Every structure is written in structure tokens, then in C-alpha cells.
């Protein structure tokens, strides 16, 4: 009865410039931790939430981790079983780093391990996306899939969760800055025009295809030419003060490409090697700190593990 399972699921960068709602990669840190254990009391409940400054609800249907876990338990016919979940938020939310997705991914992974791993990680994905949907109302896996599965993930189709892990060149590093500015994903989705001009679609499709080829060939030059968002970034950049200065700082310091992480306000850059990634993140962060904006920075290779048991 006292067996408890502790897991970690990492932050992620969604969209990756060219794949709005269909591309994402996992970082090594930060991430969330979840503990799942059997309990004497019948039914599923959230017993503890830490690190959220009291902001997250204990009501299961309103909580991304709780709803993801409950949806999985229902599917497995275990929703009446006494199980409790602890959620330990170890990363900022509303950051554009897939915080709610990390909680949802960790929750389904923890429950699955507790029950003897009846499902594969890919089979868990749907339930984690249901949890993530509680946060922003849309069913998309571009944060949840990398957080759960690890790696650079392409979601060919969100509806069917036709998910594919892409190869990642050796030494590909991400530099990420999180300025303490509040942007709600719902609002960042709301600013997007439903229709896009045909010439932009043509450019973005070419960039997306080039991006995929560059990963298969480890071609950093093609990656650099391809990592260019002509659809979403121009519409969202105004939500992030100093965005273009930060992007310029990243590119001037050797970044392969730079864009908004998920719905923002975090900004990511890709580069070759840890040393370069560190220089880039420092230059990006300096733009915000010079403007008196508090900023956190992360440097990470692409995390290939996703959710793990601790
Ligand atoms: N693809 C999503 C967006 C990621 O950009 O709105 C954030 O949930």
C-alpha cells in the first residue's frame, strides 16, 4: 500500500519556428515532478501541490495533471481505486515552456508506472493531451509529446496523434530565455488570424521541409536557412517586448535560428555546442536585464528521454 512512484517530465519548446502546433522538442531542465501512490481512501484525488504559489486547483477536472491522470484511470477501469497524486511544480507556468504539458505528461507516466506499466508511452499520449487541453482549450500535442516521449517530435496530425520522433544532429543545443512577462496561451492563440496568405504558406512549407531534411542530414546551414517562421512569429512578436532585439542578439552571437518558444514569452535559439549556446543565452538575457526585466535562462541539449522515473 505504501508504494509510491516519483517521476519527472521536462519542459519543452513547441512550434520550433516552422511547425505551429506540430513540432516540439524537450529540454533537460526545468521540469515538473509528480508522485503517485495507492491510498486507503477509495477514488482518485490530488493530495498535495507545491511550487505553484497556491495558483493551481485541487479539483481534478480543472487540473491538467489531475484530469490527465483521471482520464487514464477511467480508460483502464481503475477510476474507483484509491490513488493519490502529488504535484510538485518546479518550473514557471505561463512561460511558453510547456509547464502544464510537463505536469500532464508526468501525471500519466506516474499512474502508468504505479499500475505496472500497462500502456506504452505513445499510448499514454492521448490522456496527457486531454490534460493539457484543460489549460488552453485546444487539443495539440506539440508540448506534451516531447515532454512525455523526449526528443524532437513532429505531430503530422494532432487529431490522430500521428507522432514521429525526428533525428537530432550531435551537438545541437537550445538556449532559452524566459522574461518575467505574463502571456496567456489563450490570448497568444487569440491574436492569430485564421487565414494566412498563400505566399506565406508556400514559404513556411518550404522551411518546414528544409528543417526536416536538415535534421536527417545534420546540415546546420540548411537548418539555419529553414528556421524562419513567416506565419506566427510576426503576429505574436508584439506581445513580447524587445523580441527582435533578443533575436538579433542571438543571431549576432552565432545562433542557427531564434524564435518564440511555444506561445511565449520565452524565446529559444538553436546552436552548435554548449559553449556557443551559453554565449548566446547570456546575450539574449542581457537584452531583458538591461531593460530591467527579470529573466531566467536555460541551456540544454535536446532531451531524448522525456518523462522518467526518479
Ligand atoms: N502550439 C502552441 C501555441 C503551443 O503556439 O499556441 C502552446 O501551447
Told to judge if 50 belongs to the known catalytic residues of this protein, a careful annotator would answer no
Nearest CA, atom 1, ligand 1: 21
Q: Is the pLDDT of residue 56 over 60?
A: yes
Ligand 1 neighbourhood includes 185 CB (under 6 angstroms): yes
Give me the pLDDT at residue 79, please.
Answer: 94
Ligand 1 neighbourhood includes 15 CB (under 6 angstroms): yes
Q: Is the pLDDT of residue 84 over 60?
A: yes
Closest CA to 101 of 138, 53, 70, 73: 138
Omega before residue 265 within 30° of 0, cis: yes
Structural domains of the chain ordered from first start:
4-166+305-309 (3.30.230.10), 172-301 (3.30.70.890)
Q: How many CB atoms lie within 10 A of CB 170?
A: 8
Residue to mutate, 11, 12, 15, ligand 1, most ligand atoms under 8 Å from C-beta: 15
Told to judge if 123 belongs to the known catalytic residues of this protein, a careful annotator would answer no
pLDDT in tens, 179-234: 999 898 888 999 999 999 999 999 999 999 999 999 999 999 999 999 999 999 99
Which pTM does this prediction carry?
A: 0.96
C-alpha cell recorded at residue 196: 494566412
Give me the pLDDT at residue 255, please.
Answer: 98
Whether 270 and 223 have beta carbons less than 8 Å apart is answered as yes
Residue to mutate, 14, 23, 229, ligand 1, most ligand atoms under 8 Å from C-beta: 14
| Whole-number Cα distances in Å, 127 to 105, 112, 219, 231 | 8, 11, 35, 29
Ligand 1 neighbourhood includes 146 CB (under 6 angstroms): no
Q: Is the pLDDT of residue 76 over 80?
A: yes
pLDDT in tens, 28-52: 999 999 999 999 999 999 999 999 9
Amino acid at each position: 500500500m505504501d508504494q509510491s512512484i516519483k517521476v519527472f517530465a521536462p519542459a519543452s519548446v513547441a512550434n520550433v519556428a516552422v511547425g505551429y502546433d506540430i513540432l516540439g522538442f524537450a529540454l533537460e531542465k526545468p521540469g515538473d515532478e509528480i508522485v503517485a501512490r495507492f491510498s486507503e481512501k477509495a477514488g482518485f484525488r490530488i493530495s498535495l501541490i507545491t511550487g505553484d504559489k497556491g495558483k493551481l486547483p485541487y479539483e481534478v477536472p480543472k487540473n491538467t495533471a489531475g484530469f490527465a491522470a483521471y482520464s487514464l484511470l477511467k480508460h483502464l477501469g481503475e477510476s474507483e481505486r484509491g490513488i493519490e497524486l502529488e504535484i510538485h511544480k518546479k518550473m514557471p507556468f505561463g512561460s511558453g515552456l510547456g509547464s502544464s504539458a510537463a505536469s500532464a505528461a508526468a501525471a500519466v507516466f506516474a499512474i502508468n508506472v504505479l499500475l505496472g506499466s500497462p500502456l506504452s508511452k505513445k499510448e499514454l499520449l492521448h490522456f496527457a493531451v486531454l490534460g493539457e487541453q484543460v489549460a488552453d482549450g485546444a487539443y495539440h500535442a506539440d508540448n506534451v509529446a516531447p515532454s512525455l516521449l523526449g526528443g524532437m517530435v513532429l505531430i503530422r496530425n494532432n487529431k490522430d496523434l500521428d507522432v514521429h520522433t525526428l533525428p537530432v544532429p550531435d551537438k545541437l543545443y537550445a538556449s532559452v530565455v524566459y522574461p518575467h512577462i505574463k502571456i496567456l496561451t489563450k490570448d497568444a492563440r487569440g491574436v492569430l488570424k485564421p487565414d494566412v496568405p498563400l505566399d506565406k504558406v508556400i514559404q513556411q512549407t518550404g522551411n518546414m521541409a528544409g528543417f526536416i531534411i536538415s535534421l536527417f542530414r545534420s546540415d546546420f546551414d540548411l537548418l539555419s536557412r529553414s528556421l524562419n517562421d513567416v506565419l506566427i512569429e510576426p503576429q505574436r512578436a508584439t506581445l513580447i517586448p524587445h523580441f527582435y532585439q533578443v533575436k538579433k542578439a542571438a543571431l549576432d552571437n552565432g545562433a542557427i535560428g531564434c524564435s518564440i518558444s511555444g506561445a511565449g514569452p520565452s524565446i529559444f535559439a538553436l546552436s552548435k555546442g554548449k559553449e556557443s549556446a551559453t554565449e548566446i543565452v547570456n546575450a539574449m538575457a542581457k537584452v531583458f536585464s538591461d531593460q530591467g526585466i527579470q529573466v531566467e535562462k536555460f541551456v540544454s541539449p535536446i532531451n531524448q528521454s522525456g518523462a522518467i522515473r526518479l
